[in-house]
Structure 1
Amino acid sequence: MAIVGGDDLTRSFDPAAAYPSLFASGIRWRAGWGQAAEEPQPLPLSLSLGERLLMSTRAGDTGMIVANVAFESIDFDASPEDCAALGRDLAGRAERVAMIVMGEGSTCMTASDRARRTTEADVYDKAVMRALEHGDYDALGRVGGNSVTTTGQAPWRVLAGAAAGHRFEGRLHAGARRRDRGYFVASWTRRPFGTNVDR
């Protein structure tokens, strides 16, 4: 399992010492047994939210699952090549790798930016939504060229790098409704070669 999200730096976190925390965002919440490590490592916002999602899917928290989780942040401004390289590295660490990727739509825009650039924001969001819905890693790796948003592009490109060369069936769980604009929840399931899947 790998959790990937954007941050100011590209770095790996020690799963034995990492723990989710929202303190840096002004919210008094943190969790996880990594707090008791000799050198605890609070996760950045994107990875903290990703770890919170993982925590919500398991009953109890013995730490046994966390030991097999890689926490990887990618620089918001990382080049497409660096993003793809990290994706390939993560995908190659085991025969099967599950990923939680914390990308972003145009939600990170300020209210004034959105008011001035509504059309660009909508184009960006629709491109992300289509790529996620269809499991299209080629399209996902290309989104963001209009610079509407910078914080969400790098994680999408990491996912594209990890998925390259394989076929996926995408399912969009949230994001198609107008009130969900800029927020997406999707899942990709890898298809064996030879399976007919429309892309």
Structure 2
Amino acid sequence: MLIAAAVCPCPPLLVPEVAAGAAPELDGLRAACSEAVRALAAARPDCLIVVGPADRAGRGKHAQGAAGSFCGFGVELDVRLAAPTAEGTSGGDAAGPGPSPELPPSLPSTLPTSLAVGAWLLEHAGWDPAVPVEGLGVGEPLAAERCIEVGRELAGRAERVALLVMGDGTACRTLKAPGYLDERAAPFDAEVARALAAADTGALAALDEELAYELKAAGRAPMQVLAGAGEGARLKGELRYDEAPYGVGYFVASWLS
């Protein structure tokens, strides 16, 4: 059963070494993410599953201790997904069986960027590696119905399941945004923010897939996984951050009992 969730954006710029001189611009966002991750830890889950968008190579399950890198962004920085304890604790077995054939396992040494950012957040927040962790990379084209089904499966893996959901809002909020200005972007992000604040699983499940794709909202699929996992959990939402630096919608939210 899902007992806690955190939603955080996944731009590599969250990592100060990647942001370099621009790092202070996102200090508030980093602080909000750290608070959300610490709230997850305080909920004392049996396991944590980090869910984020991924291209074809990064889709599927990633075991605890899986490696990621920010070398592609010009920084010699490697991370690991909540590295196992000395006894070899791994999140794979505790979290249940692997993903379905539609979400095939991927190489443990190739975390997609979203999960690498999630791994950095866990390390930065001092996550206890004794709590089993695994990652799940979700492809952007995954249909809403399948996302919701995956979420339900994740929630059933243990008595106390927590999710760290990595995903951005639209990338079309300003003229200088990656997707240029689209007047539909602000209302789309406003609805996502409202749904996260209210822990409204129905609203997240109803997000328009085609519109999300047109607005380059990379968090649509992971958030709909959250919608499936949160069904019936009756969690309370708190929106910790809702801004659009660089023209991209970034949200930080906590869902807790």
TM range (shorter): 0.7 to 0.9
**SS of 2:180 mapped into structure 1:** helix
Distance in 2, matches of 1:102 and 1:82, equals 18
2:169/2:217 contact within 8 Å kept: no
In 1, the alpha carbon distance for the partners of 2:218 and 2:78 equals 23
Output the CA distance in 2 between the equivalents of 1:160 and 1:135: 9
1:14 paired residue number: 63
Paired with 1:108 and 1:25, the residues of 2 have a C-alpha distance of 22
- Give per-residue Cα distances to partners, 1:34-71, cap 9 Å, x unaligned: 8xxxx751311100111111111217x7x434xx1011
Counterpart of 1:99 in 2: which secondary structure?
A: strand
Structure 1 unmatched runs, 5+: 191-199
Give aligned-pair identity as a percent: 35
- For residues 43 and 171 of structure 1, do their structure 2 counterparts lie closer, same or farther at Cα, with a shift above 3 Å needed? same
Please say if residues 124 and 144 of structure 1, whose CA atoms lie closer than 8 Å, have aligned partners that are also in contact: no
**Residue 228 of structure 2 aligns to which amino acid in structure 1?**
G
Deviation at 1:28, TM superposition (A): 2.3
Computed over aligned residues only, the root mean square deviation of the Cα atoms, in angstroms, reads 2.6
Q: Give the superposition deviation at 1:186.
A: 0.5
Q: Partner letter of residue 132 of structure 1? A: L
Deviation, structure 1 residue 150: 4.4
TM superposition shift of 1:148: 1.7
For the 8 Å contact 1:20–1:52, the answer to whether it is kept is no
Instruction: Measure the CA separation in 1 of the matches of 2:233 and 2:215.
Output: 29
CA contact (8 A) 1:77 1:150 kept: no
Whole-Å separation in 2 of the counterparts to 1:23 and 1:144: 34
1:152 to 196, 219, 233: 219
Residue matched to 2:240 = 173
Which of 169, 177, 183 matches 1:111?
A: 177
Q: How does 1:11-50 map to 2 (within 5 A)?
A: 11-16=60-65, 18-32=66-80, 41-50=109-118
Q: Would the aligned equivalents of 2:171 and 2:215 in 1 still touch at CA under 8 Å?
A: no
Judging changes above 3 Å, is the alpha-carbon distance between structure 1 residues 158 and 178 closer, same or farther for their aligned structure 2 residues? closer
Q: TM-score, normalised by structure 1?
A: 0.79
Runs of 4+ in 1 over 4 A off after TM superposition: 177-181
2:250 is equivalent to residue 183 of structure 1: yes
Task: Name the counterpart of 1:69.
Answer: 133
TM-score by structure 2 length? Answer: 0.62
Q: 2 CA distance for matches of 1:111 and 1:181?
A: 6
* Distance in 1 of aligned mates of 2:232 and 2:108: 37
Taking the aligned partners of 1:166 and 1:56, their CA distance within structure 2 comes to 28
